[in-house]
Amino acid sequence: MTKLNSARRRNTLGHLALYLVLLSFFSGSAKSAIEYTEAQRDTIVELVDQLQERHYAKLNYNDVLSSEHLDHYIDTLDPAKVFFTAADIAHFEKFRLVMDDQLPKGNLSAGYSIFNRFHERMQVRLENVLKTLPETIAVFDFTRDETFSLDVESRQWAKDQAELDDRWRKQLKNQVLSLKLAGKAEDEIGPIIEKRYANQLKNVKQYNSQDVFQIYANSLTELYDPHSNYLSPRTSENFNINMSLSLEGIGAVLQMDEEYTKVARLVPKGPADKQGDLHPSDRIVGVGQDSEGALEDVIGWRLDEVVELIRGPKGSTVRLEVIPAKTKSTDERRVITIVRNTVKLEEQSAQKEVLEIPNGEDLIKIGVIDIPAFYIDFDAMRRGEKEYKSTTRDVKRLLQELENEGVDGIIVDLRNNGGGSLQEANELTGLFIEYGPTVQIRHSSRRVWRDGKRLKSPYYEGPLVVLVNRLSASASEIFAGAIQDYERGIIVGDRSFGKGTVQTLIPLAEGQLKITESKFYRISGDSTQHRGVVPDVEFPTLYDTKELGESSLEHALNWDQINPVRYRRYGDLSTVLPAIRAHFEARTERNPEFVFLEEQVNLAQQTRDLKELPLNEVARLALRESQEEKALSIENKRRKAQGEELLTSLELDTDKDEEEAEHSDEPSDSEIDEEENDVLLTEAGNVLADVLLLRQERYAIHDEERVQ
């Protein structure tokens, strides 16, 4: 049986629909078996047919895929291996090579049989946990030397109920210790955990056939690729609501990660993004209303229930208790206060600033254009309005303004830009090239068509750098890839997300199928899928690539190539890149801010590499203190290099900071730090300055040779 890939459980983009009904604990009734309907028989026949005929991967649902379907379905139901035993898994072996024969005929008996066994095991387990919880917690000995395993991938199925009991004992003990070290009072811990499992049991008893069908169907669709999903009628409605309301509330896209609600990404310029404390991969464990409302523990809740708590009217306040992404354990908590609002189009518009880079006694002026998203007002365009708003129109105006200000070069900042309009990605590229193709799109029929700038016209010809990171996706990757292929500019930053696929919605007898039907390719013939755009100059990654990015998703389509198209190269960057990289490495080795960033990244990686947590309180505290000491040492190393006062602790008086911020019209310290100490943007400016200076040197050598 294939091992559970933890990356599959941490999907970042495009899985909101599936996880509206998944939360590691499910709902239903153990008193009677859940059965499938006639409509679901018709739906599964259509779904299998559409997957085989229209999906880009062109996979046949045969014995091989049937075997994978069984493994994936079981892993989806019980990813932590805490409900099924080895005997249950052996019983399911009879379905391994028959599911591909059953589903095309509308026979769902295998999936429902497996689920009903799981459903029974789960309800009995949760009832027993709740019945014995006070006694279980009372006898926990936190002086005993034992550990809680974080490595579920290598975990085997329990050989019997006794082994499962011990897994649950350790799981509960870890939860109690985490709450204790998070500052919860002893008399609060039991009720918190009891409420958590009671809510899960309530969900179990509410489970229905539609929910089971969606899980079973999606365990098949995700074998084709992680962005292909079946949406039940209920989930289709919620999916559409979430898409239309993604710019309301706090401006965060959420997904499930086992029993936690995890931040997949932040909407650029949304309330959470502007507040600055919530980050991708943070796990939300509590939600409170207003500035003083009690924090409701939401571990084990369904995603739609958590979203409902977080949403609220514009101007109201929500407080989120989160486990920061950088920590491996659940001991560290942070409370973040966010004022709900809507994201206005003008706030997501491209913005400009001027960066001044020292060059001896002179300053090199660099124009920066920050593009949070690829937007266009389609309604205004369809109405025939001449001045409709779009990314390209805004950037064209900003380019002209920056040129009038006498900048020496341009940085296009695409960090955290998750994409948007393909049309705008193509037209934006046209501002930096004379004419030519921008992207190739290959359909599942294997037909390829191209898009780009068809007519010659004036363009910005000056030096150009494009700054990307792991959250630059889709349309951002098309633009960055085209600039790189044309050798029109230098790409710097982190490897981009790697989503190079296109989905379409197909109505079924019941619900919809979101299916991957096409794939993006660069003009060089390289796909943007999986690999993303690899920068010419790579900065340290701020994100865990096992948690974020297409490569973190199980069954993601592979990177590949098709035929390139003929295109003009605007520069011979291969001759200057070695020198650019050498300057970059020499400069960042002695830059305390950059060294600090690299050491933070390394420390976060060490934390993520932990395979187990001590359940001994003293050892657990020692582990946490060791991590805090390392973080403090890294911070003080930076401060010493900068001539700043050293710290004795990294703890901040956040309540005081928030209170002061509420009564001040001045930007907060975090906002000032972000503006003044964006080390990555500054380093992108340094790279562009190197390009300018190297160009001047080459011109000087050329002039000298010509004189001789």
**Measured between alpha carbons, how far is residue 499 from residues 327, 445, 644 in Å?**
27, 20, 42
Helix (H) or strand (E) holding 296: strand 296-297
Asked whether the beta carbons of 373 and 268 are under 8 A apart, the reply is yes
CA dihedral 97, 103, 109, 111 (to 10 degrees): 70
DSSP 329: S
How many residues are present in the chain? 708
- Is 474 designated active site? yes
Number of H helices and E strands in the chain, helices first, is 21, 19
DSSP for 115-163?
A: HHHHHHHHHHHHHHHHHHHHHHHHT--TTS--EEE--GGGPPPBSSHHH
Distance CA 294, CA 276 (A): 23
- Is 78 designated active site? no
User: Which sign does the torsion angle of CA 641, 644, 648, 649 carry?
Assistant: negative
The active-site residue, picked from 78, 211, 297, 485, is 485
CA angle, residues 490, 492, 497, in degrees to nearest 5 = 120
DSSP for 176-224?
A: HHHHHHTT--HHHHHHHHHHHHHHHHHHHHT--HHHHHHHHHHHHHHHH
Amino acid (1-letter code) at residue 604? A
**Residue 127 has which token pair?**
């009832």
**Measured between alpha carbons, how far is residue 285 from residues 13, 24, 494, 568, 611 in Å?**
21, 15, 29, 52, 22
Helix (H) or strand (E) holding 63: helix 63-77
- Is 485 designated active site? yes
Radius of gyration for the chain, computed over Cα atoms and rounded to the nearest angstrom = 27
Strand partners, 266: 252
Sequence-distant (6+) residues with CB within 8 A of 353 are 367, 368, 370
| β-strand pairing of 537-538 with 490-493 | parallel
The active-site residue, picked from 499, 514, 527, 544, is 499
Amino acid (1-letter code) at residue 594? F
Q: Which residues form the catalytic set?
A: 474, 485, 499
